[in-house]
Structure 1
Amino acid sequence: MSVPIDWSRPEEASIDVAVVRDPADEPAHKVGTLISLAGGPGTSGIDEILRGDKFSAELRARFDIVGFDPRGVRRSHPLQCDAGLAMTRPGMVPDTGAKLDEVRSYTRKLADTCRQYTGPLIDHLDSASVARDIEAIRAALGVDQISVYSRSYGTLAAQAYAELFPQRLRASVLDSVDDHSLDGAAFMASEARAGEDTFTEFASWCARDEQCVLHDADVRGTYTELYDRAARGELRDPIAPDKPLGPLELSMKVTHRLYRPEWSRLATELRALLDQPTGSPIQPTPPTLRGEPTPMAELIVCSDWNFDIHDQRDWLRLWREQNDNAPTLRAHFAWGAGSICSGWPSEPANPPHPPANQSGPSILILNSLHDPATPNEWARQVAAQTHRATLLTYEGWGHGIYDRTPCTTNATDRYLIDGTIPALVSCPAT
């Protein structure tokens, strides 16, 4: 369906947003329409619905389930930038000599190519604009109210929709919620704490479970050795052996394995990295794709967050905070996003702010106790700041908990189908 690029000027240029609807399996018992908001930024909401396994059979029976690719993602006019620049990012680890001025120079060049390939949409990729797209989808479907399930980055658009269109909202689930009230420094510091917390949980599992291939090793020491080798350029990327695996890339790979979590697989991969032969720094192969576009939906984050980093001294201070909050991992992948966005040439269209909804339905917030990407401290704060919000905590690990256990699934289903807020405040770990 067609939506304006700039919702403040709806009569001007438009883009097409791709939408999919999975009709209720039991139309005679249908509750209504459930719109599913994917995370990322960059995850395809279309693909999630087409897989058919995102929601329980009961929800699929009782709701028309609607998914879409948000503006700037996949089938919905993707955000694209120069492929060569995308593959040659500057160093962002001050300990290895990285300079903020070099990061910002790179960012300006990258942003120019993003504007070239993406057009005016580059200034309108924020979650508030996505929320207005959701309202257009609701109107096109011809329903008075919608229920919303959102996960991770999608919770920003869900929160914006609750602020802008509370009367159109029947129910809303924020699963693994983003705290949009944080400034850039608090965002990066809390992300670092979340990464360190979940790595500590992994190391504890490895110490007590003999099936861990690092069971008899010092897991923290293993990571430190790998990080130091990565900082010297001596670690190979296992997916692209001709490329070095940098320290931030190492941290990112580890953190992503903590999403489900995949502890056994992470231990095996760390063991394989440790077994790589040591030697001279690896010289990366220069990219040959300069001048061609490539999707970079992850840059949408610069439309919703404000990272005010004034100069090299300020950057170094924030880096020390990363190290203090994540003494093993050293940094979270949010560090790279914040460093890039601090040099983005335009201000975020949807800057951080506390929740502004003062009406509308009760909202259910889901979060694990140990989440590497959306920490539990975010969930507690969003719940405290949001009108009629209830937090259900999964007392375990991972990112995204609706389908984690029968307890989390049943509590969410009852809320969406019957409007029943869970009486319990937590679900046990399994």
Structure 2
Amino acid sequence: MQPFIKALTGALAAAALLLGAGVADADTSDLDASGDAGSSSSIDWKPCPEHTTAECGTLRLPIDWARPGGEKFDLAVARRKATDPDRRVGVLLVNPGGPGDSGVNFALERATTYFSADVRAKFDIVGFDPRGVGASSPVTCSRELIDRQPSAYPRDQAEFDRLAAYNRELRQDCREHSGPMFDHADTLGVVRDMDALRGALGEQKINYFGHSYGTLIGEQYAELYGDRIRAMALTANIDHSLGTREFLVSSAATAEDSFHEFVKWCDRSRSCALHGRDVTAVWDGLLTRADRGEIRDPDHPDQALTANAIAFTAVKEYFYGPDWAQLATYVATLDAQTATATATVAAKAETKAETTAQPFQAVFCQDWRVRAKDYPEYARLTAAERRAAPHMRGSPRVHAALAGCVGWPDEVNNPQHRLRVTKAPKILLMHSRHDPANNYSWVTNVRRQTRGTTVLLTYEGAGHRVYPRSDCTRDAADGYLTALKVPRDGSRCAAVDPDVGP
């Protein structure tokens, strides 16, 4: 399997987390097409098998909210109750992003160290696996078919046509393995599920913390159910109004910006393994050698690393933190390889399951109308992307996502549009100035679209994560969530030196 697909699918919650957990059917007579759930719906909570200090359960909901009496699926849910019940404020629904990350896994394994003690004391932290993800009727596909994915960089119309044909074959395969959920895995369905979950929890209003792709869930919930929000904090925001070219080019530009931030850090920091060298020249030379097949995967020395795989790893594994010292070591280690022989790209022999979880394209390609019609259009997009990021070779992460939609039907369930939020309270937007994945312009666009409803706090440093970056970012979010202390719009938190850390 190609590296970017492995990374895009992310870590999913195992269905075993919910073995033994209670299942409650929502009373569908109390559910209308808007996704409103009556208070009679409930979840039969039971201790989670591997996390007995938390509770797990499922909620049965419609697969197609336009047909609430039709086929159902079980929404997987996990809850950690407020550690100080006397100070309890309410529930805090959480989503860590993706698309494809597990909210159940986040609540069970990460929330206790991610959120402050004050937040954990005052909120029941509730994570759920979005429809099509983890233990919520997951989208699955044939592993053999995924493993023979063609290049996301076709060189002519014939290769573009082969990519489109492959995507259609994979789409049909995933539909056959996943059932009707495949056609309803979009974020708008998740939003309606989330409001049904609100009703099942017996809450008139919810609090929500969404990160990265989880901000799209929050934004669209605010559009539909703004009067059901007490507080909503969104970090590393998605701008769902972008067209194909703007989405791709802005993603590439922000990856390139993070590369330059890394270079500047390396120039001034003696802890950088490349300190004292021309870091840009080392990086460009490394990618050129990778183009010739001279760079091997350290974990699999018989396999070559492509330039795009190296760039993808830099963004996903090291820019997100940021973990610049580790990136410098990674680059220095690869650069030190000798070119005595040419490696080949080969699949590792191993025993594999027949199918594997693969929710990314099912969600992304139904949330975004991003379909290049032919090779000339695709080539123009690729050229624009690479002009915006000459050292990073564009944005391998987003390029792969767009490539996966080639050949899909034009119609999508949840097409891009400008946000229209009219009933919500003040929503807190937080974003890094040098986010490697979600361009800072995205949050300023969201802010303009929701003027009067949102406030923006900027972390002036680098990295995709915002809330845990510093005392400033954490205190601002905590004060807002726990006591509704809304930061001044335009507030800023100073950058933290990666040598020191948050």
TM > 0.5 fold call:
yes
Cα 1:421–1:240 shift into 2, 3 Å: same
Aligned counterparts of 2:202 and 2:400: Cα–Cα separation in 1: 42
Question: 1:170 and 1:109 mapped to 2: Cα distance?
Answer: 44
Q: SS of the residue aligned with 1:129? A: helix
Please report how far the alpha carbon of residue 238 of structure 1 lies from its aligned counterpart in structure 2 after TM superposition: 2.8
User: How many residue pairs align between the two structures?
Assistant: 430
How far apart in 2 are the matches of 1:115 and 1:240?
Answer: 33
Equivalent pair of 2:76/2:128 in contact (CA under 8 Å): yes
Residue 22 (structure 1) aligns with = 80
* Deviation of 1:92 (Å): 2.1
TM-score of the superposition, structure 1-length normalised? 0.96
Distance in structure 2 (CA, Å) of the matches to 1:173 and 1:115: 34
Give the ranges of 4+ consecutive aligned residues of structure 1 lying more than 4 Å apart after TM superposition: 94-98, 286-291
2-structure distance, mates of 1:271, 1:98: 38
Q: Out of 193, 217, 221, which is 1:157 matched to?
A: 217
**Is the 2:255–2:389 contact (alpha carbons within 8 Å) kept by the matching residues of 1?**
yes
Following the alignment from structure 1 to structure 2, what is the Cα–Cα distance between the partners of residues 348 and 96? 27
Q: Is the 8 A contact 1:242 1:285 kept in 2?
A: no
Instruction: Flag the 1:287–1:316 CA change in 2: closer, same or farther, 3 A.
Output: farther
Corresponding residue of 1:389: 454
2:487 matched to which residue of 1? 422
CA distance in 2: counterparts of 1:170 and 1:111, whole angstroms: 39
Q: 1:368 aligns with which of 401, 410, 432?
A: 432
Q: How far, CA to CA, are the matches of 2:378 and 2:297 in structure 1?
A: 27
Other-structure match for 2:123: 63
Matches within 5 A, 1:299-314: 299=361, 300-314=363-377
Q: Deviations over 1:3-43 (max 9, x none)?
A: 11111111111111110111111111111111111201111
Tell which deviates more after alignment, 194-203 or 287-296: 287-296
- Alignment match of 1:298 (pick from 337, 360, 379): 360
Q: What displacement does 1:382 show?
A: 0.5
Cα shift at 1:128:
0.8
Indicate which of 355, 359, 381 corresponds to 2:419. Answer: 355
How many angstroms apart in 2 are the aligned matches of 1:306 and 1:60? 39
C-alpha distance in 2 between matches for 1:88 and 1:229 = 24
Query: Which residue in the other structure is 1:140 paired with?
Result: 200
Measured against aligned partners, the alpha-carbon deviations of 1:86-123 in whole angstroms (never above 9, x if no partner) come to 22221123569993222212111111111111111111
Distance 2:248 2:196 in 1: 33
Q: For the Cα contact (< 8 Å) 2:156–2:375, is it kept in 1?
A: no
1:176 paired to 2:236: yes
Deviates most, 85-94 or 269-278: 85-94
* Equivalent in the alignment of 2:319: 258
Cα 1:362–1:380 change in 2 (3 A) is same
For residues 36-115 of structure 1, the aligned pairs below 5 Å read: 36-51=94-109, 52-94=112-154, 99-115=159-175
Partner amino acid, structure 1, of 2:88: K
Root mean square deviation of aligned Cα: 1.9
Q: Which secondary structure does the structure 1 equivalent of 2:232 belong to?
A: strand
Q: CA deviation at 1:367?
A: 0.2
Q: 1:116 aligns with which of 164, 171, 176?
A: 176
CA displacement, residues 121-172 of structure 1 (integer Å, 9 cap, x when unaligned):
1111111110111011101001100011100001111111111111211111
Q: Higher RCO, 1 or 2 (CA under 8 Å, sep at least 6)?
A: 1
AA aligned to 2:420 is: A
Question: Cα offset for 1:301?
Answer: 1.4
CA distance in 2, matches of 1:385, 1:398: 24
Q: Secondary structure at the match of 2:405?
A: helix
| Cα separation, 1, equivalents of 2:196 and 2:433 | 35
Partners of 2:302 and 2:343 within 8 A in 1: no
Determine the C-alpha separation between the residues in 2 that align with 1:303 and 1:132: 16
Q: Is the 8 A contact 1:229 1:235 kept in 2?
A: yes
In structure 1, list runs of 5 or more residues that go unmatched: none
Whole-Å Cα distance in 1 between the matches of residues 304 and 107 of structure 2? 36
Q: Which runs of 5+ in 2 are unaligned?
A: 1-58, 497-502
| Aligned 8 A contact 2:431 2:457 in 1 | yes
User: Is the CA contact 2:369–2:410 (under 8 Å) kept in the aligned structure 1?
Assistant: no
